[in-house]
């Protein structure tokens, strides 16, 4: 069974977005995004573990804009390459499901399971629109 960390705080400083958790979870989670030309630098960290991605801005923008609510914690969009990517989905109550992953080969992968609250998701979607 997957454990999902909730990100409920959106903060914009200059060109950098911070999605963080305000809860009392002992393992701190954070997603940081910054536009770098045609790409978005994304750093996802939980405690000392960090996963970095650089998908194309337009690809991420299109994927988020086209999300439709589905039951459960399903992901319906995929941005990135075959070895470093992020799956995205939208729950029926408008929480954004983010599953950034790093795949080594058929023998294993590393994924971080995140849920962004509806309020923080709306602000993120607005930031992505430009």
| Position 95 pLDDT exceeds 80 | yes
pLDDT at 55: 96
Tens digit of pLDDT for each residue in 28-75? Answer: 899 999 999 999 999 999 888 999 999 999 999 999 999 999 998 899
The mean predicted confidence, pLDDT, of the chain is 92
Please give the CATH architecture assigned to the domain spanning 5-129. Answer: Roll (2.30)
Distance (Å, whole) CA 73 – CA 115: 9
- pLDDT tier for residue 120 given thresholds of 50, 70 and 90: very high
The rounded percent of the chain whose pLDDT value lies above 70 is 98
Give DSSP secondary structure letters for 14-64: TTEEEEE--S--SS-EEEEEEEETTEEEEEEEETTEEEEE--BHHHHHHHH
- pLDDT tier for residue 26 given thresholds of 50, 70 and 90: low
């Amino acid at each position: 069974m997957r454990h999902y960390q909730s990100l409920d705080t959106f903060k914009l400083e200059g060109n950098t977005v911070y999605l963080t958790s305000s809860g009392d979870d002992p393992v701190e989670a954070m997603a940081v995004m910054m536009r770098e030309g045609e790409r978005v630098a994304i750093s996802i960290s939980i405690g000392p573990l960090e996963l970095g991605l650089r998908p194309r801005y337009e690809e991420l923008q299109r994927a988020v804009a086209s999300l439709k609510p589905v039951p459960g914690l399903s992901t319906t969009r995929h941005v990135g390459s075959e070895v470093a990517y992020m799956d995205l989905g939208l729950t029926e109550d408008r929480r954004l499901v983010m599953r950034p992953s790093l795949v080594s080969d058929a023998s294993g992968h590393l994924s971080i399971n995140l849920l962004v609250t509806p309020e923080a998701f709306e602000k993120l979607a607005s930031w992505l629109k430009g």
